[in-house]
Amino acid sequence: MTSLSASARAGLESAVPGGVATRAADRLRMAHDASHYLLHPGAVVTPSDAGQVAALLAYGRRTGTALTFRSGGTSLSGQAVTDRLLVDVRRHFRDLTVLDDGQRVRVQPGVVLRHVNARLAPYGRKLGPDPASESACTVGGVVANNSSGMTCGTEFNTYRTLESLVLALPSGTVLDTGAADADARLRAVEPELHAGLLRLRERVRGNPDSVRCVRAQYAMKNTMGYGVNAFLDHDDPADLLTRLVVGSEGTLAFVASATFRTVPVHRHAATGLLVFDSLGAAMAAMPALVAAGPAAIELLDAAALRVAQRDPKADAALRGLAVRGHAALLAEWQESDPAALADRVADAEPVLAGLPLSAPARLSGEPAARAALWHIRKGLYAAVAGARPSGTTALLEDIAVPVEALAGTCAALADLFERHRYADSVIFGHAKDGNLHFMLNERFDGGEAPARYADFTEEMVDLVLGHGGTLKAEHGTGRVMAPYVRRQFGDELYEVMRELKTLCDPEGVLNPGVLLSDDPEIHMRHLKTVPTVEEEVDRCVECGYCEPVCPSRDLTTTPRQRIVLRREIAAAQAAGNTELARELTDDYDYDAVQTCAVDGMCATACPVLINTGDLVKRLRAQEHGRTAAWRGAARRWGATTRGMARGLDLAGTLPPALPETATRAARAVLGADRVPQWQRDLPGGGTPRRPHPAHDPDAVFVPSCLSTLFAPARGGTGVAAALLTLAGRAGVRLLVPDGIGDLCCGTPWSSKGLTEGYRAVRDSVPPVLREASRDGALPLVSDAASCTEGFDRLLDGAGDLRVVDAVAYTAGTLLPRLTVRRRIGSLALHPTCSSARLGLDDALLTVARAVADEVVVPDGWQCCGFAGDRGLLHPELTASATRAEAAAVAARPFDGYASVNRTCEIGLARATGQPYRHLLELLAEVTAP
């Protein structure tokens, strides 16, 4: 489908005013999800509420235009792509309400699963489904795909833990299935649907073959086709509809909100990686291991282990394993009581001792060790896919068989891989549930499927169904298995599913081609090609894990979208479509380059550690890497920062309208990416940095140039003065070196891609720091988290020079020597992207808890997007990035507001109207005599 006609756009705009995007950049950046399918939508529509969704459904029925709902875009089976209208329900549907002290929770479809669990954590509860993609997948996808995961099995999956839904049906009816009169209302407003559901219920129950098939199929994890087990499990049509929508992949109704019954968090666990000499040995051990009662048993074959060894968080034992034909089982026992866990582990130890392991089993209850093991397992798909050859597409299949058939299925799969020449394929998954994931790499040149892929698929289907299994256990039917639903369930149950679709969506406007299809070749169409572009781009598997942490996600583009647009530009150029390539390139500058915060948070979420900021910096360097003015500034940084500070002071003395108007005019002429926008809430200039001598110093203090550029918040001293004060009280001697005014960590140059200026900083600053630190004998202390990170980069390869952030230095060295005399009551704390990447969370909380009785990191906190000067050049970025956090801060009063970077303090103060200060300033106040 090409972009919409003017009349079609007008019709859509009447349904969703201001929510229709038809630019090529908007359509193509949203075309990609984690699957191996690619279709370009005709428009992306972003409704703001259920009323607009109902209007969209009416438009679709009236015009025969199909709609596909999309939220997180982590789908692996082709459910979230379309060449019609793509409806983005992540942007606005983010309400979350905890009910009954955490026993239940009501969530809209755009909320990320990890955020739900974070809100439930204080109550000791969580959602039952626990998919590996929980850091990025949303509740909409959890419901649409009947998510389960690593520990929930079939007992605590979405189907079992869902209580009710608020649905918008294709007819326009909005139904709260949790209302007391839900069934009566359904009968009154949708009599044909109500009667049809009863008819189908009796049809299934009255057919013994259907009952036997359903019981067998849903004894396993199963997301193939519609969840016809609902016809055996529930009686009333409203309840039937609730359960049938689960796993329906957006083909029956829109889920406006879902209410779940939560499950307890088992706070105590013991986890171990059990390594066997072969996959067969691991599978043979399954019966004994399952009998020992673990909450999870995760399988990793030899190829998966080799990839896991490359993960920076892999422990020494895993890194040191000489993997040949090995396989491993990641087993975990969970309990709410430590004594009960100890009993569990004691009962399991004889079982583990009797297993034919390559190395003795080690169960750990240490949180860091356990987190590292689960990090490796949860990121395995993207890590394996990220290691694939450039230009290939990763395909992740997902099956389940009875546990007793696991060993034979694994052996047969390995044989299929060999016969069809898929040499680098891996097998992993939830062995306890008989649920296997396997990944293979294929090159779909021109979007065509090679014969071997078609042949492999047919043989794989025969293999799984021959073992009494299901072709989709967790990832949903999608396009990839839609042609095989009839083969798995048989003609009778397939016809039940077809009638259900017709009852709910008679015009067929919801997600056509997904879950059920009359096209036997649909799984071989619209296959994704992956052109070779840049190193970061080529490794990306488009999983979307990076998106929830990106500060520009609600303004312009996300890291995934920046990457896929690079691919789309390359594809357009290769196809000779110079007009499209030019249009995408022109829009890319603002959408992807200028409004990127280059904060690197994407790398913290990416399983293959892609930092899209590095790509953006290179693109900026291509534009202005040789800018002479900034090269000169690097050599006279003290004078430059003092000049900037005096400019802020001068602007502050004028009537505010004058500098605001002047900078707006200059931006209009010279460009918004060159001239900062002055706003009346900006502070004045700071004070020049000066040397601070110390006899026999304990550390070298390198104050940030931010203290020269910007004055402290009203009533504050600034972090540099606060740290010197704290050190004096603690009896610690800090040396501020001569020439401090000209020293910089290099971040202003590196973030802008100013390569020659950065080179000048790199040449001049390390020698000064080496001399001051006595060749690295003394630590270097930086008082801004972004500068700490900048010095880490600048001094990489500089030998023994050590940089410590002031918060970490205070927590470890100063705080034990200080006396807190008067804590404040409550503190709103904003960590920064740099503090998160530096691993300062524990130090931050240690210092914050010394300052306040109650420390709150507000819901929705993320990188503020101020990003050095981005908040001045593009204040809309900071406004968008801080919106959720500002709402959480405004929900209640606090006695103090703190962060650990002056620009972040400015950004948060602008967003909330509250006086954010550096955390160490507050510590200096509460420790004052």
* Average of per-residue pLDDT across 157-173: 96
Q: What is the CA radius of gyration of the chain?
A: 29
Q: Is 853 helix (H, G, I), strand (E, B) or coil?
A: strand
pLDDT score recorded for residue 667: 85
C-alpha of 490 from chain center = 38
pTM: 0.92
Q: How far apart are CA 329 and CA 315, in angstroms?
A: 16
State both tokens at 907.
Answer: 């950004």
pLDDT > 90? residue 496: yes
Q: How far apart are CA 149 and CA 106, in angstroms?
A: 20
pLDDT confidence bin for 194, thresholds 50/70/90 = very high
842 Cβ contact list (under 8 Å, min separation 6): 811
pLDDT confidence bin for 542, thresholds 50/70/90 = very high
Per-residue b or e along 32-48, where b marks 16 or more CB atoms closer than 10 Å to that residue's CB: bbbbbbbbbbbbbbbbe
Q: How far apart are CA 834 and CA 97, in angstroms?
A: 31
State both tokens at 284.
Answer: 């043979």
Which position has the higher pLDDT, 673 or 746?
746
| Mean pLDDT estimate for the chain | 92
pLDDT score recorded for residue 383: 73
pLDDT confidence bin for 166, thresholds 50/70/90 = very high
Q: How far apart are CA 50 and CA 71, in angstroms?
A: 15
pLDDT > 80? residue 385: no
* Average of per-residue pLDDT across 90-95: 94
pLDDT > 60? residue 597: yes
* Average of per-residue pLDDT across 540-552: 94
Q: Give percent above pLDDT 90 in the chain.
A: 72
Q: How far apart are CA 375 and CA 380, in angstroms?
A: 8
State both tokens at 449.
Answer: 């499927």
532 Cβ contact list (under 8 Å, min separation 6): 390, 391, 538, 570
Annotate 693-720 with DSSP letters as a single string. --SS-SEEEE--THHHHSPPPTT---HH
**Residue ranges in 675-827 assigned as alpha helix (H):** 706-709, 719-730, 747-752, 755-772, 785-794, 806-809
pLDDT score recorded for residue 754: 81
Annotate 16-76 with DSSP letters as a single string. STT-EE-SHHHHHHTS--SSSB----SEEE--SSHHHHHHHHHHHHHHT--EEEESS---S
Q: How far apart are CA 743 and CA 689, in angstroms?
A: 10
Q: Report DSSP state, residue 524.
A: G
Convert the pLDDT of each residue in 305-344 to its tens digit. 888 888 777 877 788 888 888 999 999 999 989 999 999 9
pLDDT > 80? residue 256: yes
pLDDT score recorded for residue 654: 87
Edge to edge, the sheet with strand 85-88 lists: 20-21, 43-45, 85-88, 67-70
pLDDT > 80? residue 798: no
pLDDT score recorded for residue 569: 97
State both tokens at 403.
Answer: 């546990």
Phi-psi region of 824 (alpha: psi -120 to 50; beta: other; left: phi over 0): beta
pLDDT > 80? residue 630: no
Bridge partner residues of 735 (DSSP): 700
pLDDT > 80? residue 797: no
State both tokens at 647.
Answer: 């400019």
pLDDT > 90? residue 869: no
Q: Which residue has the tokens 């920076």?
A: 312
Convert the pLDDT of each residue in 891-927 to its tens digit. 999 999 999 999 999 999 999 999 999 999 999 999 9
pLDDT score recorded for residue 626: 52
pLDDT > 70? residue 634: no
Phi then psi for residue 734, to 5 deg, are: -110, 135
Q: How far apart are CA 529 and CA 525, in angstroms?
A: 12
pLDDT > 70? residue 56: yes
Q: Is 103 helix (H, G, I), strand (E, B) or coil?
A: coil
Convert the pLDDT of each residue in 666-712 to its tens digit. 888 888 888 888 888 889 999 999 999 999 999 999 999 998 899 99
**Are β-strands 393-400 and 426-430 bridged in parallel, bridged antiparallel, or unpaired?**
unpaired
Which position has the higher pLDDT, 724 or 150?
724
Q: Which of 640, 907, 838, 648 is nearest to 754 (CA)?
A: 640
* Average of per-residue pLDDT across 851-861: 94
Convert the pLDDT of each residue in 576-596 to its tens digit. 999 999 999 999 999 999 999
Instruction: Determine the residue type at 510.
Output: L
pLDDT > 70? residue 624: no
Q: Which long-range contacts (CB under 8 A, 24 or more apart) does 572-578 make?
A: 574/531
515 Cβ contact list (under 8 Å, min separation 6): 79, 225, 226, 248, 249, 251, 476, 477, 478, 482, 485
C-alpha of 199 from chain center = 42
* Average of per-residue pLDDT across 752-761: 84
pLDDT score recorded for residue 138: 97
State both tokens at 399.
Answer: 């099956």
Q: Report DSSP state, residue 405.
A: G
**Residue ranges in 206-328 assigned as alpha helix (H):** 208-217, 230-233, 237-245, 279-284, 286-291, 302-309, 316-319
Phi-psi region of 276 (alpha: psi -120 to 50; beta: other; left: phi over 0): beta
pLDDT score recorded for residue 448: 81
Burial class for 767, CB neighbours closer than 10 Å (0-12, 13-18, 19+): exposed
pLDDT score recorded for residue 674: 81
pLDDT > 60? residue 402: yes
pLDDT > 80? residue 3: no
Convert the pLDDT of each residue in 875-884 to its tens digit. 999 999 999 9
Convert the pLDDT of each residue in 442-470 to its tens digit. 989 877 878 999 999 999 999 999 999 99
495 Cβ contact list (under 8 Å, min separation 6): none
